[in-house]
Structure 1
Amino acid sequence: MIKYALRCDQAHDWEAWFDSISGYETQVGRGLVECPLCGSKAVEKAPMAPAVWSSKSDRPAPPASVDTPVPLANGPDPLSLPEPVKAFFQGWKEHIEQNYDYVGDAFAKEVRAMHEGDSEERLVYGQATAKEAKELIEDGISVAPLPALATPKPVRGYH
């Protein structure tokens, strides 16, 4: 996995994870990467500082195994977030509702069918197990978790 700092033609900045360098390039080339604030597909990598650690103890812990339970959402109560943050997630949620098809638990099956050419490509969201997500990524299919505050439909594990 690789994380890029991205910027759209409207000067909005955000970060996104991709399965590989070629995964990023493929998604941008197919118009699948878009600004979460304005929806622009004119996206490019933004300058990014490398992660440098002065000692082993400064390094972040490695990611947990896909079999290890991990909280899907934590942090402050969403109602206590600053208004600009709530507005950002509300805009993201509305963008997803208007532009993506909800496929529920069939997410892994749907994106695999699109990747293999058995189904027409379209923007979708839904649920997948950690094992399903790992298998999709290993097969070169780019997927990413959707923050709970930006999820239009209820997702297992979110309250």
Structure 2
Amino acid sequence: MSSESAPFCPRRPNLREILANTAPAPWTLAAFMAYLSNNHCLETLEFTMDAGRYKKHFHRMMNKAPVPGQPTEHDANYVKELWTRLMEAYIQPNGSREVNLPSQVRDPILGHVPANTLPPEPSVLEPAVSKTYELMEESVLVPFLNSVYPQSPVPVSPYY
């Protein structure tokens, strides 16, 4: 029986592990961001991060509202501004960082104009966030994993 063992091949991380920055090197969040930037598709990741930020600020606004469901005008205006930035950058056609979304996902979101008092619930963005994760998993994840796959520590010679 040979004492040689097969080279160690680490388990490839999934997208959630990479985005949570819990994936082992070389599949770090920073490496993924660099890959997306080099391939001109960083907006997909930026959208998911900005949508998460919107959700966090929306819930913070609602939790600190002096009267349940009635945030201060200042807080509501701030969160509405975040919504407007999300729409203008990622959702509206020809936005500066438009995310490639099918019209059946995009159009209902565009129909949510902030009311006079409250910005839209973060759940309105969920179909777009889910579709964006799906797009990253289907079209970006495997090429990224392959692009930074750990190389064998011993060069393999074509001559035996």
TM-score by length of 2: 0.28
Structure (1/2) with the larger helix percentage: 2
TM-score by length of 1: 0.28
Structure (1/2) with the larger strand percentage: 1
